[in-house]
Amino acid sequence: MVLLSLLLWGSTCRRETRFNIYEPDEELQNADFWLSGIKDADKLILTKKQIKKINSKNYQKNLMIRPLQKKTLYTKREIKQFLKWDLAWIKHFKKYDKDGTPVNGTEFRKQMQELSALGSIKKKVSTKYCLVVKPTSLRAFPTDRIILRKPDDYPFDVIHVTYLDTGEVLTLLHTSADKKWGYGLSAYRRGWFRLSDAGWTYSKQEVQKFIQSSKFVMATGWEVPVYSSISFNRTRTVIHMGSKLPLVRDNAHHYIVKIPANRPDGKLKFRLGYIKKDDRVNMEYLKCTPNNVARQAFKMIGMPYTWGGFEYGTDCSSFIRRVFLTMGLNLPRNSLQQMKVLKKKSVRSRQPDQKQRVMNTLKPFQAILYYHTPSHVMLYAGKYNGGHYVIHNKWAFKKREGKEEKKVYIKQIVVTGLDLGKESSDKSLFSKISRISVLK
């Protein structure tokens, strides 16, 4: 089904006159294939103490923020400056709509400036604290309009920053002119979100109690429905891999959880939700072992690539983040930032022999590989037939066939060798690797 949808999508590309769809080696797309060669697959990679230390480093290095620990009072000048910085991005604006037509940058900037309602900001703004009530998009501007860097570049929506899952925390500092959007801080950056997708309160303690609950139900499958009643006939919201909700009661065949909701005026309230007991949920973090890392990663094989988690999917970095979130390891959203928070291995890009020696020291499912232009991050899977392999969410690569070079679309989470792209102008994945970090 995934391959069919990719074929149909590929057929709509107007500018790519020659392309292929990548056909992965099915034998390699299986966790057991890679785990069978690992001794002590259940041995801890990271202890709880080590995970806590890495999580703390995120905030010490300002790779992530804690919205609840930010200021409780902002001035008009501060908020206005945030918005002006964002709007300045449109100054040299050459982008396209979803249908491939050019966007009028001047007109778009004017629309976004009007919606941003800079003149309505109060002199002093008390912070409101929000919980996301259903998955939502964090946007650079208060609009659902999809803006592309170039024609036929869907789903690379430059207005979409990331998606936020049910139960995630935001601050609310300002609202749009049409009263449909809220502006504030997430754990990743500033942005706009649909007010209907969050509930707000002035009580920091109320939100803190929710997110710090010691008893919880966590999604270990990609998408877990939360139902409105024990009849399981109506879904109230969903949570995605690594997200968790406070546990209210553990029953024989289901869990009762606390879920955030909003009143007609947008204020936060809580409801009960019901989650079926199956292998997609767990009541504690998984142990950080090669076995668990591999099992979680391979649950997502074949999942389509979506930029920034657009439409609640994953890209390369959100794939990595979601896998390790199930173990309590809270990596940043950005691929390079993920590398910075883990222990770096020295790699010399222009010395392939030295890089190969470093690669030979890596342990399966215990290292992350990175290259830039464009930024891409990969989870090391191991060695097979003398070559190194990774599991990653990859959009496309170039392949030489005789004198011609073709674009080959992957557009999904897949296991490939690091020789992918060799002899093309893009070069192989191996040659492009500029940084290696290990789980330590």
Q: Are residues 272 and 331 in the same domain?
A: no
Q: Are residues 79 and 112 in the same domain?
A: yes
**Domains: count for the chain:** 3
Residue ranges making up the domain that contains 111: 67-209
**Residue 60 covered by a domain:** no
* CB-based contact 237:188 (threshold 8 Å): no
Q: Are residues 338 and 401 in the same domain?
A: yes
Predicted pLDDT at 226:
98
**Residue 56 covered by a domain:** no
Q: Spell out a b/e string for 303-324, using b for 16 or more CB atoms within 10 Å of the CB, else e.
A: bbbbbbbbebbbbbbbbbbbbb
Predicted pLDDT at 349:
77
What is this structure's pTM? Answer: 0.93
Predicted pLDDT at 348:
85
* CB-based contact 307:326 (threshold 8 Å): no
Predicted pLDDT at 373:
85
**Residue 55 covered by a domain:** no
Residue 380, Cβ density class (10 Å: 0-12 exposed, 13-18 middle, ≥19 buried): buried
Q: Are residues 429 and 323 in the same domain?
A: yes
**Residue 86 covered by a domain:** yes
Predicted pLDDT at 139:
97
What is the CATH classification number for the domain harbouring 85? 2.30.30.40
Q: Tokens representing 175?
A: 């609202």
Indicate the residue among 209, 241, 258 that finishes a domain: 209
Predicted pLDDT at 91:
75
The alpha helices in 173-231, defined as continuous H runs, are 204-211
Q: Are residues 431 and 298 in the same domain?
A: yes
Q: Spell out a b/e string for 158-179, using b for 16 or more CB atoms within 10 Å of the CB, else e.
A: bbbbbbbbbbbbbbbbbbbeee
Other Cβ atoms closer than 10 A to 106: 11
| Residue where the block lists tokens 């592309």 | 148
Q: Are residues 359 and 425 in the same domain?
A: yes
Predicted pLDDT at 310:
87
Predicted pLDDT at 312:
84
What is the CATH classification number for the domain harbouring 322? 3.90.1720.10
Q: Are residues 41 and 26 in the same domain?
A: yes
Distance (Å, whole) CA 210 – CA 226: 17
**Residue 378 covered by a domain:** yes
Distance (Å, whole) CA 338 – CA 209: 28
Q: Are residues 293 and 434 in the same domain?
A: yes
Q: Are residues 167 and 274 in the same domain?
A: no
Indicate the residue among 187, 209, 231 that finishes a domain: 209
In 3-state terms, what secondary structure has residue 46?
Answer: strand
Predicted pLDDT at 366:
98
Q: Are residues 125 and 163 in the same domain?
A: yes
Which stretches in the chain have pLDDT values below 70?
A: 1-19
> What is the phi/psi pair of residue 193, to 5°?
-145, 155
